[in-house]
Structure 1
Amino acid sequence: MRVFVTGATGFVGSAVVRELIGAGHLVTGLARSDQGATSLTAVGADVHRGDLHDLDSLRTAAAAADGVIHTAFIHDFANFPASVETDRHAIETLGDALAGSDRPLIVTSATGLVSGAGVATENSRPNSDFHVVSRYANEGLALSYVDRGVRVSVLRLPPSTHGEGDHAFVPGLIDIARTTGVSAYPGDGSNRWAAVHRLDAAQLYRLALEAPAGSKLHAVAEEGISLRDLAEVIGRHLKVPIMSADADHFGWLGGFATADMPATSTITAELLDWHPTQPGLIADLEKGHYFGTSRKLS
């Protein structure tokens, strides 16, 4: 299968590209820069130049593919509505290009969108926190293309998609601990983040190419790691005190650090026979690679 991957040079997308190639698929990856193009060529992928704002480029690549995996998202929390709008236009363009073909389109979302009322399942409704409801609407937009002959699946990633090269929320916690001199958890630290290793997530993206139209999938290997457990590992590695703190201590990460976002993947595992095998989040942290150069998402 010829698969077009957006976000192909990113933390998750690059793992998806390697997973697909390893399984014998042909991959065309979207690249914004010469450096990105070189990295794709090095792993055996073809290069399609463009970005999420270049809708003509997205349309051309999708039309030429047997399936599309959309992993790209602009994580600009200072202007999140604009990021959601860009994602919406990209989904519309990809869906229009595949309409009537019964080809797969896998759209990335987040389990945090549907957390907040117990453990989130694939059938949970959206959370009202973090101004994410508009991004949840993009899930609905993607799924509307099922009625237009596209085999759409929505794949939700958990708050921690971890592994070497992670530059998201866990590195953010580590950088805050370095800056403040304490490794903090909110309140009593019992709130949880679901987690998955990026290599396990990449395998699920590959399996999702065969998922039934309208599938909602959770790339969740661990239902919930408490923020206190995370703080204890971080504090031990950085040799700083571990303590409770309020949301303000976490700066831009405050809303996420204080949220309880557990999730399951029972339905996904049964549907696609997906069984994660990579190390869990705490085990990954214990390897030490998270405590090198700062790589926080901002």
Structure 2
Amino acid sequence: MNIALTGGTGYIGSVVLEQLVAAGHAVTALVRSDEAAEKVRKAGAEAAVGDLYDTAWTARLFAAADAVVHTAAPGDGSSEQFDRAVVAAAVEALGGTGKPYVHTSGVWLYGSNADITEDSPLAPPALTAWRPAVERSVLDADLVATIVTPGVVYGHGGGIPAGVLTPADGKVRLVGDGSQHWTTVHVEDVAALYVTVVERGERLGHVLGVSGAGPTVREIAEATGAEVVPETVEESRARLGALFADALLLDQRATGAKARSLGWSPTRPTLLEEIRG
């Protein structure tokens, strides 16, 4: 297939790009700079440099593709406006065509829950409270839409665990007391899920991208071998910012049964295995 990809230089999107190319797909990566264009070309994609807020430009490139995978995210206060612009382009270009559109969400959508499935009640923290309305607009549109919903992503030295639980001076600070579980997935595995769903070309709704491994934050920190230092919730909120800390304090577990029913199977080391080496 000819696939239009956003976020092709990002943490998840760059791995999606590699795996799409390896699977034999022709990829056009929509990027914002000449520097990013050079990166995606080296990875085997064609590059289109422009502004994803420009609906006409984005829709034109989406319409020329057989499928669209949207992984780009500014990761700041503009995230809602950014996603709405991309969704508007997808509806304009792909509505009624039967071409698949793959959107990106995140497991925080479901709040604290010990057994999350795609049908669980939505209870996002304030940081991602904008997501349900945007994603409802995707699902209500005349799109063959799938919303990949990754857990806490790790791997290749990146992701939230590496950024938040990195030892310093032989110590690692927990988020709260560390008793909360994070439902996790390796970046290579979640990238493989994007490839699986876009190749199926079906209207799948939300699909959780989680490995089934859900260690506690304390277990993750202890795996580093450093001294573990608990915090109060208020200390974590002061250190990390209230919005981010409240998301990290969610207690979440999930198995990813729906993704497995599609033929996807995570194969990479668990987060604890990777940390322990």
Same fold, judged at TM 0.5 (above) = yes
- 1:187 and 1:69 map into 2 onto residues whose CA distance is 35
Aligned residue pairs total: 271
Helix, strand or coil at the partner of 1:225: coil
Contact 1:186 1:227 in 2 (8 A): yes
The residue number in structure 2 matching 1:255 is 246
Matched residues, percent identical?
30
| 1:207 is the counterpart of 2:200 | no
Q: 1:132 aligns with which of 128, 151, 154?
A: 128
Shift of 1:169: 1.9
SS in 2 for 1:172: helix
- 1:148-188 per-position Cα deviation (integer Å, ceiling 9, x unaligned): 2x211111011x2111151x42133235x428x63233454
Q: Specify the alignment match of 2:6 in structure 1.
A: 6
SS at match of 2:114: coil
**Distance in 2, Cα, partners of 1:163 & 1:213:** 29
Q: Give the partner amino acid of 1:55.
A: T
* CA RMSD, Structure 1 to Structure 2 (Å): 1.9
| TM-score in terms of structure 1 length | 0.85
Question: Which one of the candidate residues 108, 113, 118 is aligned to 1:117?
Answer: 113
1:92 and 1:165, CA in 2 relative to 1: closer, same or farther beyond 3 A? Answer: farther
Stretch deviating more after TM superposition (97-106 or 206-215): 206-215
Within the candidate set 264, 272, 275, 1:282 is matched to 272
Aligned to 2:146: 153
1:193 Cα deviation from its structure 2 partner:
0.7
1:96 equivalenced with 2:85 (yes/no): no
> Displaced runs of 4+ in structure 1, greater than 3 A?
none
How far the C-alpha of 1:128 sits from its partner, in A, is 4.1
Distance 1:10 1:165, change over 3 A: farther
Indicate if the aligned counterparts of 1:194 and 1:222 stay in contact, CA closer than 8 A: yes
Tell me the residue number matched to 2:209: 219
Contact 1:28 1:45 in 2 (8 A): yes
**Structure 1 pair 18/187, CA: closer, same or farther in 2 (3 Å)?**
closer
Asked if structure 2 preserves the Cα contact closer than 8 Å seen for 1:7 and 1:14, the reply is yes
Tell me, what secondary structure is at the counterpart of 1:11? coil
Q: Name the SS for the 1:190 alignment partner.
A: coil
**DSSP 3-state at the match of 2:12:** helix
Q: Which runs of 5+ in 1 are unaligned?
A: 288-298
| Conserved? CA contact 1:68–1:105, under 8 Å | yes
CA contact (8 A) 1:195 1:224 kept: yes
1:174-253 matches, cutoff 5 A: 174-175=165-166, 177-178=167-168, 182-209=171-198, 210-234=200-224, 236=225, 239=226, 241-247=227-233, 248-249=235-236, 250-252=239-241, 253=244
Q: Distance in 1 between matches of 2:202 and 2:41?
A: 31
1:286 offset after TM fit, Å? 2.6
* Preserved contact between residue 155 and residue 216 of structure 1 (Cα < 8 Å): yes
For the Cα contact (< 8 Å) 1:52–1:87, is it kept in 2? no
1:292 — aligned with what? none
**Residue type of the alignment partner of 1:20:** L
Unpaired segments ≥5 residues, structure 2: none
- 1:296 maps to none
Which AA in structure 1 matches 2:153? Answer: T
Conservation of the 8 A alpha-carbon contact between 1:161 and 1:195: yes
Shift of 1:264: 2.4
TM-aligned CA deviation for residue 85 of structure 1: 2.0
Cα deviation 1:104-152 (Å, max 9, x = unaligned): 000000111013233211111211423423212211111112xx2x211
Match of 1:22 in 2: 22
Normalized per residue, which structure has more helix?
1
